[in-house]
Structure 1
Amino acid sequence: MAGRRPPTLQDVATALGLTANTISRALNDKSGVNAATRARIKAEAERLGYVPNVHARSLVLGSRRTIGVIVSNISNPFFADLVSEVELQAQHAGYTVLLLLSYESADRERDAIDRALRSGLDGVIAAPVQERSAAWAPVIKAGIPLVLVSREMPDLGVDFFSNDNAAGIRLTTDAVLARGARDVVLVDEDMPFSTIRLRIEGFRQSLERAGLPFDARQNLALVPPARSFRVSQSWHADDAYRVASDLLDRGRRPDAFVVGDDYYALGLYRALRERQLRVPDDVMVMGWGNHPFTRFMEPPLSTLLLPFEEVARRATRRLLDRIQGIGETGVVTERIAPELVIRASSER
């Protein structure tokens, strides 16, 4: 017995006495169909079991209905959240996602870009390595819409979405200053990223607004990068532990530490504990990222909740608008404010 053929767009149109064009516009949330009719069409499509043939549509439009996402490593919790949200948004719009990883290597990034070009993607969302903006020129030359997230390359002239790094570090630094700290050290990664540069600048601004001097030799404790193709986590608590231990063993006893990632706070806690320094009585600590473990630390870690899901939503919507040729024509840059989460590690 021959199998029952799947319902078509025309079947939905015939059942409702409408044109196939009206059905298509309603199911794709296009203008020109009122809310009541749109709801009736969607209900009938669901009743009939109609599923759009995305592959056939792609052939007609000359599109693969696929977007690429190029990030360093999805074990980085920020990028894991970002990729998950991009995939959800893309799926809702009828697109699939091709994930490509750079592992913070310019060569690996170039390979990912080459693969994206060969795959005929409709658009790309990327957190670039930032060593060579020229590597992205072929994407722009090919007319493929490109949206950057987290790390900025202004010379490319493309849309950019990120959490506000400078504002975020000002929030954490201002919080410990308001609680009496006068000697504050920023622990962050020693990498040439715009995110880190902006955090250092925001940190400096907070100190100077409080009438305190900023001296990179005294106020910065940079963690050497420990990235490789095998690294599963971008930040290592043991690296922060070694940097903090060296600083403390040289006689530095700051009133507070603010860190560029909660994982650094894990190593910092141990270095302080081994030297009988109590958090927050002797030293306050502020984190970054609000990772799930932070509320289980002892004491629970004050930190910063980053809006990476919102960054991903806005970036994906912007990319889809670019692909469809709608929306704002100029370059869009958005930095979304993070949210301070106060816990015991900064409360005296």
Structure 2
Amino acid sequence: MPGARYGMIGRRQYPGSRIRHPSGQPFAEGPGEGMGITLRDLAAACGVDISTVSRALRDDPRVKAATRERVRIEAERLGYHPNLAARSLAHGRTRTVWFILASLQSQREQEPAQHASLQLRARGYDLLVALYHGDPDAYRRTLRRLSQGVTDGAIVLPGPQDETAAFKPLVERNYPLIFVDRHVEGLPIPVVTSRNAEGARELLRRCLRRGARSSVVLFGAGNPVEESRRDAALAHARKRGLPFVHGQVSPDILARLPEPIAFLASAQYTVQQFLAQHAMALQGRRMCFGVFDEWRGEPYPGDAAFVCVQDFAQMARVAVDQLLATIDGRRKLRAQKTEIPPAEYRTILPRFR
């Protein structure tokens, strides 16, 4: 028609065009732009049917990846934000919080979720656990769904992947978020964690009191918790003039370490994996261990195992308090680290020698 201006229909788009409602009227612009856009409008703008748009926004694998991406881009351009909670709740609140984490296999994953659930239930909220099983695509998809109003806020135990970009749209909206245990650096999102450096130093001290004359530091890299523990243990070893090794270790170096040897790690399985890899070099050597959270069974083949037990109950309590303050509008997202002292230290000694 003469004088008519069309936007994106199907895959065609004309520079400078304005997207129009199927009725022929343009969508709202300026302040509040996009508030009147419906799922039907978005489907018309993309040139697909409503069910396809609905599935694409839910990242349904039945919709081609290219189509899902095209729908997401168009929805963002038009300012369309599906709010699932507002469709069913008059006040737009779900009274739910998501706990996003890779798995529930370890104590440091299970306990924060359990304690957070109890804290939230006492405040009239339900905690829903969202597992991404170490899959980066599932992780990003879960984070995108937060903006759809499916929950009021989220507690996140981030994985090793650097997913800064996935968090930025949520940060820009001041979406209620808090990290537990670990955090993603460079984001204005608060984190509640343990006094990791203090715990690592105390584990080494206890090994020294047990008679250790050298140490193998097995804390790794890749996340702030491991790096904090590693740096504190290495600094304390240097301060005490203690021989130590870290990183790649040859059998010759292990053989020259004076014994007893202190092995420090975040988890028991890390110690046992190292011992298995270097069984020949360590055969018959005296040793003791320092780990976080738990040691199951005998401290074999060591003389003792020392355990720094993190206070997950207090970590969850503080995280829930801070998250609900953001949900209620009493605070904005900002980078803030809250460090919780360990709950206790335990000593595991051999029982059958």
TM-score range, shorter chain: 0.5 to 0.7
Query: Aligned residue for 1:263?
Result: 269
Please say which of residues 79-88 and 154-163 is displaced more in the overlay: 154-163
1:257 aligned counterpart, secondary structure: strand
Task: Measure the CA separation in 2 of the matches of 1:131 and 1:70.
Answer: 15
Give the alignment of 1:295-310 within 5 angstroms.
301-310=305-314
Contact 1:170 1:202 in 2 (8 A): yes
**CA-CA distance at 1:296 after TM superposition:** 7.8
Describe the superposition over 1:15-41 as per-residue Cα deviations: whole angstroms up to 9, x where unpaired: xxxxxxxxxxxxxxxxxxxxxxxxxxx
Equivalent pairs, count = 259
- Which sections of structure 1, spanning at least 5 residues, go unmatched? 1-54, 223-242
Describe the superposition over 1:60-115 as per-residue Cα deviations: whole angstroms up to 9, x where unpaired: 43211111111121112211111111111111211122222233443332111022
User: Are 2:246 and 1:220 equivalent residues in the alignment?
Assistant: yes
**CA-CA distance at 1:333 after TM superposition:** 2.0
**CA-CA distance at 1:329 after TM superposition:** 8.5
**CA-CA distance at 1:169 after TM superposition:** 0.8
Query: Aligned residue for 2:127?
Result: 97
The partner residue of 1:78 within 96, 103, 108 is: 108
**CA-CA distance at 1:181 after TM superposition:** 2.3
Give the TM-score normalised by the residue count of structure 2: 0.64
Give the alignment of 1:18-97 within 5 angstroms.
59-97=89-127
Query: Aligned residue for 2:55?
Result: none
CA 1:253–1:309: 2 relative to 1, 3 Å: same
Query: Aligned residue for 1:6?
Result: none
Describe the superposition over 1:246-268 as per-residue Cα deviations: whole angstroms up to 9, x where unpaired: 74896354522112202234445
Task: Measure the CA separation in 1 of the matches of 2:94 and 2:105.
Answer: 28
1:219 aligned counterpart, secondary structure: strand
Higher relative contact order (CA 8 A, sep 6+): 1
Query: Aligned residue for 1:111?
Result: 141
Contact 1:127 1:151 in 2 (8 A): yes
**CA-CA distance at 1:290 after TM superposition:** 2.0
Task: Measure the CA separation in 2 of the matches of 1:124 and 1:133.
Answer: 16
Query: Aligned residue for 1:287?
Result: 291
- Which sections of structure 2, spanning at least 5 residues, go unmatched? 1-84
1:158 aligned counterpart, secondary structure: coil
Query: Aligned residue for 2:208?
Result: 177
Q: For 2:292, give the aligned amino acid.
A: W
Task: Measure the CA separation in 2 of the matches of 1:212 and 1:253.
Answer: 10
Q: For 1:342, give the aligned amino acid.
A: T
Give the TM-score normalised by the residue count of structure 1: 0.65
1:302 aligned counterpart, secondary structure: strand
User: Are 2:324 and 1:320 equivalent residues in the alignment?
Assistant: yes
Contact 1:262 1:303 in 2 (8 A): no
Q: For 1:111, give the aligned amino acid.
A: R
User: Are 2:131 and 1:132 equivalent residues in the alignment?
Assistant: no
**CA-CA distance at 1:154 after TM superposition:** 4.3
Contact 1:149 1:160 in 2 (8 A): yes
Task: Measure the CA separation in 2 of the matches of 1:161 and 1:295.
Answer: 32
Describe the superposition over 1:145-184 as per-residue Cα deviations: whole angstroms up to 9, x where unpaired: 1111111234211221001211111111122223332320
CA 1:128–1:273: 2 relative to 1, 3 Å: closer
Task: Measure the CA separation in 1 of the matches of 2:310 and 2:129.
Answer: 22
Contact 1:188 1:261 in 2 (8 A): no
Query: Aligned residue for 2:75?
Result: none
User: Are 2:207 and 1:160 equivalent residues in the alignment?
Assistant: no
Task: Measure the CA separation in 2 of the matches of 1:135 and 1:80.
Answer: 24
CA 1:310–1:247: 2 relative to 1, 3 Å: farther
**CA-CA distance at 1:273 after TM superposition:** 7.8
Task: Measure the CA separation in 2 of the matches of 1:115 and 1:315.
Answer: 21
1:152 aligned counterpart, secondary structure: coil
Q: For 1:305, give the aligned amino acid.
A: V
CA 1:334–1:257: 2 relative to 1, 3 Å: same
Describe the superposition over 1:250-301 as per-residue Cα deviations: whole angstroms up to 9, x where unpaired: 63545221122022344456678875426xxx2122222125x246867663
Query: Aligned residue for 1:343?
Result: 348
Query: Aligned residue for 1:123?
Result: 153
> Going by fraction, where is helix more abundant, 1 or 2?
1
Q: For 1:261, give the aligned amino acid.
A: A
CA 1:141–1:335: 2 relative to 1, 3 Å: same
**CA-CA distance at 1:203 after TM superposition:** 1.0
Query: Aligned residue for 1:277?
Result: 284
CA 1:203–1:154: 2 relative to 1, 3 Å: same
Describe the superposition over 1:180-232 as per-residue Cα deviations: whole angstroms up to 9, x where unpaired: 3232001235x51111111111111211221346xxxx61247xxxxxxxxxx
Query: Aligned residue for 2:338?
Result: 334
2:147 aligned counterpart, secondary structure: helix
Task: Measure the CA separation in 2 of the matches of 1:260 and 1:248.
Answer: 25
Query: Aligned residue for 1:147?
Result: 178
